[in-house]
Chains A and B, each alone.
Chain A
Amino acid sequence: MGGIRTTGDLVARMQLRKKMRLPQAKKYVADKLGVSIVDLTDSTVMRGLREELGIGVITAVPGAPRGIEAKVRVADLLGVDIPCLKRLAL
């Protein structure tokens, strides 16, 4: 699905955290982002949206959240736990 270029990481997290089958996982993420299913893999749409939401973008933009900083926002956006964030005591 293109990873952080689009939304592959987000859909994957719903499979990992909630055991969602693919259609359910895509719908969940699309609803959270306010986009269509087709937009989930549209790199033009997602490049801007990911930067706006601070959930990590594929290009090296100075100051854009990356790594664990982005994952905090991913967890908040999706409403799921991300295990490594427990170590930040958030």
Chain B
Amino acid sequence: MTTIRTRMGDGYAVEISVEEVKADLVAGSADAVKRGKVPPLEDAEIDYLLELFSNPSRIMGVEPGHEVVLTKDGSVNTLCSAQLSSGVGLPLSRESAIRVFERAFGFDTMEVGHPDYSFKPVKPIVALEATSLEQVLLTTIVPIFYGAMPNFGLYARPDGPFPNPADLLPRGQIAEAREAQLEMAEACREDMLYVSRVMDEMGADGINFDTTASAGDAEFLATLQAVEELAATTDLAVEVGMAAEFVLGFHGEVEYKGTRLAGLWPHQQVKVVEETGAHIFGPVVNTNSGKSVPWNVARAVTLVKECSRVASIPIHANVGMGVGGVPMFEVPPSDCLTRASAAMVEIGRVDGL
């Protein structure tokens, strides 16, 4: 019996038969079809994935001419931050680290961001962020974003001023929880606009909203409203990167231009994002650590393929730790990362990662 060495969604290696790999590919895609109500992968696409995972090489790639653009979240935290950002703790300034990404790593774009990578903590120190961005813009050639997370939870007690919906809901105080979320959304939106406008003045190429809708539909609404205003009134290109594969209905009833946000999947999320005037959309598909990487990759590309098909703006799929089929592990294994990336390009038809 021929076996293939692959991994589970938790990153640990397994040896499974070719037949099991194929079964996992089919099952992963079928799960995406069932949950997302999207078309299944074609037989030729399953065959491509089987060949991808059967190849004994550690590192996989795409054909010449099929390469895609890379945008990045987390700024230089990969180099300069600690384990909390999967960082390797190098004592580099942000400006130096961005130059490393541009010239040593050959990144297509980069971003300035704070180690505490959220809009709320950045607001009081925005002058520091702005001067760092200015210095980077003078010395780099690649497009430079400013990146941060809406991080809705920071606006609820004890971290913020508003009642915590997670406390109110178990008490059955649904109306109060919804009201709190709308108040949080307004504050979050204002913070995102404040920081983004400063970066626009500095000359940033764009703003990256990372992990959008991490706390559900009200956070998604706040971000969409901020993006709409920025797209209409600034020179910023706006990238909206999601946190999860569907929007959690923590409020349950918020809408953006007539579309209820709770329960949206990537091919539906992209349409509301497009309505705001955003420039790039980053879909997420969450990794199931109890399933194999072939299962997870097949599922991820099935969902993203439909998102890419219906999109009118560039799609930069999130492919990294715990998303896009990649194992949920602090040090993502390169054999899985390259396979997931190649699959996203060749089957997901993405415009970037």
Binding site for B on A (CB under 8 A): 1-6, 8-9, 11-13, 15-17, 19-22, 25, 37-38, 40-42, 55-56, 58, 60, 66-68, 70-71, 74, 81-87
B351:A16 contact, CB within 8 angstroms: no
Q: Is the interface of A mostly helix, strand, loop or mixed?
A: helix
- With known contacts A9-B143, A83-B200, A15–B69 Cβ distance under 8 A: yes
- With known contacts A9-B108, A58-B106, A66-B141, A15–B205 Cβ distance under 8 A: no
B314:A21 contact, CB within 8 angstroms: yes
Q: Which residues of A contact B107 (CB under 8 A)?
A: 3, 8
A1:B70 contact, CB within 8 angstroms: yes
Residue of B nearest to A8 (CB): B108
Contacting A5 at CB < 8 Å: which of B65, B106, B235?
B106
Interface size on B, residues (CB 8 A): 39
A22:B352 contact, CB within 8 angstroms: yes
B64:A22 contact, CB within 8 angstroms: no
Distance in Å from the Cβ of A79 to the closest Cβ of chain B?
A: 16
**In the complex, A34→B280 CA distance in Å?**
27
Residue of A nearest to B239 (CB): A16
**In the complex, A33→B237 CA distance in Å?**
24
Distance in Å from the Cβ of B106 to the closest Cβ of chain A?
A: 4
B108:A12 contact, CB within 8 angstroms: yes
Other A-B contacts than A8-B107, A67-B141, A83-B204, 20 sampled, CB-CB below 8 A, are A2-B67, A3-B107, A3-B142, A4-B106, A5-B106, A11-B108, A12-B69, A12-B71, A12-B143, A15-B314, A19-B279, A19-B280, A20-B314, A22-B350, A22-B351, A38-B64, A58-B106, A68-B139, A83-B200, A84-B137
Q: Is the interface of B mostly helix, strand, loop or mixed?
A: loop
B236 in the interface (beta carbon within 8 A):
yes
B102 in the interface (beta carbon within 8 A):
yes
Distance in Å from the Cβ of B245 to the closest Cβ of chain A?
A: 22
Residue of A nearest to B235 (CB): A83
B351:A15 contact, CB within 8 angstroms: yes
A16:B206 contact, CB within 8 angstroms: yes
Q: Which residues of A contact B313 (CB under 8 A)?
A: 19, 21
- With known contacts A16-B205, A16-B280, A41-B67, A22–B314 Cβ distance under 8 A: yes
Distance in Å from the Cβ of A61 to the closest Cβ of chain B?
A: 12
Contacting A21 at CB < 8 Å: which of B202, B203, B206, B351?
B351
Most B Cβ at <10 Å: residue of A6, A8, A56: A8
Distance in Å from the Cβ of B122 to the closest Cβ of chain A?
A: 19
B5 in the interface (beta carbon within 8 A):
no
Identify 15 residue pairs between A and B in the complex whose beta-carbon atoms are under 8 Å apart, listed by A's number: A2-B106, A2-B108, A3-B108, A8-B67, A8-B70, A9-B141, A11-B69, A15-B69, A16-B143, A38-B65, A41-B64, A58-B106, A71-B141, A83-B200, A84-B138
Contacting B68 at CB < 8 Å: which of A22, A71, A84?
A22
Distance in Å from the Cβ of B112 to the closest Cβ of chain A?
A: 12
Q: Which residues of B contact A20 (CB under 8 A)?
A: 314
Contacting A55 at CB < 8 Å: which of B106, B140, B141, B350?
B141
**In the complex, A41→B62 CA distance in Å?**
12
A70:B203 contact, CB within 8 angstroms: no
Within 8 A of A (CB), among B193-221: 200, 202-206
